[in-house]
Structure 1
Amino acid sequence: MTPTVNLKSALPWLIVFALAALLPLFVSNRYALDVAVNVMIWTMLAYALNVMLGYAGILQLALAGFFGIGAYTVGILTLKAGWSFWLAWPAGVALCAFLGLLLGLVAFRTVGNTFAIFTLGVGVIITEVINKWDALTGGNDGLNGIAAPKLGSLDFGRGSAFFYLALVTLGVVVYLVARVRSSMFGRSLIAIQGSEDLARTLGINVYTHKLRVMMLSTALAGLAGGLYAVYIGFMGAAITGPAQTFVVLLYLLVGGVGTLAGPLIGTALMFVLGEQLKNVGDYQFIVFGPLLVLIVMFAPGGLAGLWNRTMFARRKPATPREMPDAGV
């Protein structure tokens, strides 16, 4: 059955994106727009993590590495091969999807914590390869001078053009993830998360579904990475490390794992809060730590999950089976 768009559920998203589109018209502060663009890019990576962890219950800790692969692919192809960004960007996404398939073919032969540890090791290897392959990636010096994309006479390096490019890309990601969640594939992933053995008895090919969601997740990571590379204009290996994956995991936990709005809410809140606390350095974790503890204690489903439970409590008692597909 082809998933359909629920207009009632889509209306809040249309309002949010419409209001976001008005932001450059009323906010001339370059810093505020820069924060907004970064929030949108990191939100895409949070969605990449959410389709695996939230829908299939799989914690993949090499995601920032694929973000880096997508970014470096765009940087290398545009700087060294003379490709247009509009060709290099999908090439980076395709490469990440293919490498995600290769990773899945090996990693899904492990189970439980072993899988997470294995992917963590892969993430470290990706960072080390990027850091040591001087001839291709620039090594410790990174890639400098990655140009902003152009489309005819439209230069995305000027004004608010890049803001709208990021907004449209985020809209596509949200739409794609929503379609996946409401599709038979998405429901099969939720069944796999509940019990792989039960999913197999229902005729679900667990291994194939895991490979597909791995490819989707790494492709979304590469999509975000390619956009990040041309926005920043520089790429270094540090941004590809497992530490960045854990930061995005924090965003997701705060927003709500398995929810549609959670990645956006969590990333926006935590990134903006991090910007406000940037001057205090590592002391910002004095704020982040207790905040995460409070979220886990009083809103284990994240802020979006808390909203869902509140709305369901007003209407009718919610059952565990209803919660994954409800609300935001």
Structure 2
Amino acid sequence: MATVLKQRKLLILVIAFALVFPFLIPNNYYLHMMTISFIWMIAVYGLNLFAGYTGYLSLAHAGFFAIGAYTLAILTVKAGLHFWLAFFLSCLISCLIGLLVGLVALRTKEHFFAIYTLCVGYIIYLLIDKWDSLTGGVRGFIGIPAPANIGPLSFQTPVSQYYLVLFFLLLVVFVMYRIIYSLTGRTYIAIRNSEDLALTIGISTMKNKLTSFVLSVFFTSLAGALYASFIRFLGPDIGYISVMFDFLTYLIVGGIGTMAGPVVGTLLITFLSQQLQFLQDYRMLIFGPVLALLVIFYPQGIVGGVIRWKAKRVEKSGNPQVRTMPATNRFVISRHSENKKQVKEG
């Protein structure tokens, strides 16, 4: 009970800090960086739902991010639709495309699935890059409108757009929490732990994997639509493979299969990379070894490492607290115990 109260207090403090951030640091540069970070977080949460909790690594999510962004741009600029109608349709169209891709891709497993989705993501990038009449090709897409007013609420200023993106981020985190700590979330975790065992106890793995994939595409395309309305200029590079690996880096550093991982990883890498911009290309010489060491010594990321550290303390004290921990935390602890056992046997 005390642990739950501590987590709630920490969550309230984080949300309160996010709400007062524009007043604490009235700097447009940092406000811009924080807004962009929130958009990346939403996309990484989408990737985390499928890769972290269902256990399938999709490398097409940068493509779906680009589909959400370009669909909003095309529907508002070329079709002339109202912004919020186009915003909703961009997510819906992305989900329909994700459904078609998932029906084929999920017939494969493990590295075959990853390779297939990598090819899908690259095909999406090529379509955006080469279809000049629709997407603008390498010239890019300009003239994307800012979010339309909702009654008295206007989203024309950087501060108002910051709060709009923050609203969607909190909404995504809430929905993710409700999914993960529900029967549906436990079903996803069961598939991640052992798909064959999940089949034997009557779980429809194909149906659940497809649902998880479409939900993850929805979150990622939502981030893409927000990105288009915030930056208001698009280029085909937003669907390139490098963006996909940025998403993976944020997730791995923060902690794959954890609720706080996307927030921690995205904030850390985004602001660290900005502070190291004076090194230009040489900053990758720092990121590379640090990321390699993190994967070796903290394969569950920073948040997973904290959970594992708490698990060690619980094991040493003999506290039965493990039984009251959430299922995702117990999974990290059990993985840690298995690793220790294997090392001792070795």
Question: Residue 224 of structure 1 aligns to which amino acid in structure 2?
Answer: A
In structure 2, relative to structure 1, the CA distance for the partners of 1:321 and 1:68 (3 Å cut) is farther
The C-alpha deviation readout for 1:136-169, integer Å capped at 9, x for no partner, is 1111111102121121454313140001001111
**Aligned 8 A contact 1:60 1:119 in 2:** yes
Alignment of 1:292-307 (within 5 A): 292-307=291-306
Note the C-alpha offset of 1:249: 0.2
Relative to 1, partners in 2 of residues 1:319 and 1:295: Cα closer, same or farther, differing over 3 Å?
Answer: farther
Q: Which amino acid aligns with 2:329?
A: A
Percent identity over the alignment is 44
Unmatched runs of 5 consecutive residues or more in structure 1:
1-5
AA of the residue aligned to 1:214:
F
Q: Compute the RMSD of aligned alpha carbons.
A: 2.0
Q: Counterpart amino acid of 1:191?
A: A
Q: What displacement does 1:8 show? A: 5.8
Provide the secondary structure at the position in 2 that maps to 1:326: helix
Asked whether the equivalents of residues 148 and 155 of structure 1 are also in contact (C-alpha less than 8 Å), the reply is no
Q: Which residue of 2 aligns with 1:279?
A: 278
Residues 289 and 140 (structure 1 numbering): CA distance in 2 closer, same or farther, change over 3 Å?
Answer: same
Distance 1:104 1:44, change over 3 A: same
The correspondence of residues 82-97 of structure 1 with structure 2, limited to 5 A, is 82-97=80-95
Give the 5 Å matches for 1:30-45. Answer: 30-45=28-43
* SS, match of residue 204 in structure 1: coil
Kindly indicate whether the alpha-carbon contact (under 8 Å) linking 1:259 and 1:324 is maintained by their aligned counterparts in 2.
no
- Give the aligned residue type for 2:202: G
1:51 aligns with 2:49: yes
Mapped to 1, the partners of 2:5 and 2:102 lie a distance apart of 35
CA contact (8 A) 1:96 1:219 kept: yes
Q: CA deviation at 1:66?
A: 0.3
Letter in 1 for 2:252: L
Aligned 8 A contact 2:64 2:217 in 1:
yes
Aligned to 1:251: 250
8 Å CA contact retained: 1:62, 1:123: yes
Report what 2:240 is aligned to: 241
Answer whether contact 2:31 2:158 (CA < 8 A) is retained. no
Instruction: State the partner residue of 2:219.
Output: 220
Give, in angstroms, the shift of residue 297 of structure 1.
2.5
Q: Normalized against structure 2, the TM-score is what?
A: 0.89
Assess if the C-alpha contact under 8 Å between 1:124 and 1:241 holds in 2: yes
Q: Is the 8 A contact 1:258 1:324 kept in 2?
A: no
Where does 1:195-210 land on structure 2 (aligned, <5 Å)?
195-210=194-209
- SS of the equivalent of 1:140 reads helix
How far apart, in 1, do the equivalents of 2:281 and 2:118 lie? 23
Aligned runs of 1:1-328 on 2, under 5 Å? 9-151=7-149, 152-316=151-315, 324-326=327-329
Structure (1 or 2) with the greater helix fraction = 2
**Which stretch of the first structure deviates more once superposed, 271-280 or 59-68?**
271-280
Q: Provide the rounded CA distance (Å) in 2 between the counterparts of 1:211 and 1:7.
A: 35
Q: CA deviation at 1:242?
A: 1.7
Moved more, 259-268 or 317-326: 317-326
**Higher-Rg member (1/2):** 2
Whole-Å Cα distance in 1 between the matches of residues 40 and 189 of structure 2?
A: 24
AA of the residue aligned to 1:325: T
Classify 1:32/1:309 alpha carbon distance in 2 versus 1 (closer, same or farther; 3 Å). same
The code of the aligned residue for 1:218 comes to V
Q: Which runs of 5+ in 2 are unaligned?
A: 333-346
TM (normalized to structure 1)? Answer: 0.93
**Aligned residues of 1:45 and 1:67 also touching (Cα < 8 A):** yes
Deviation at 1:293, TM superposition (A): 1.7
Read off the aligned partner of 2:114 and give its amino acid letter.
A
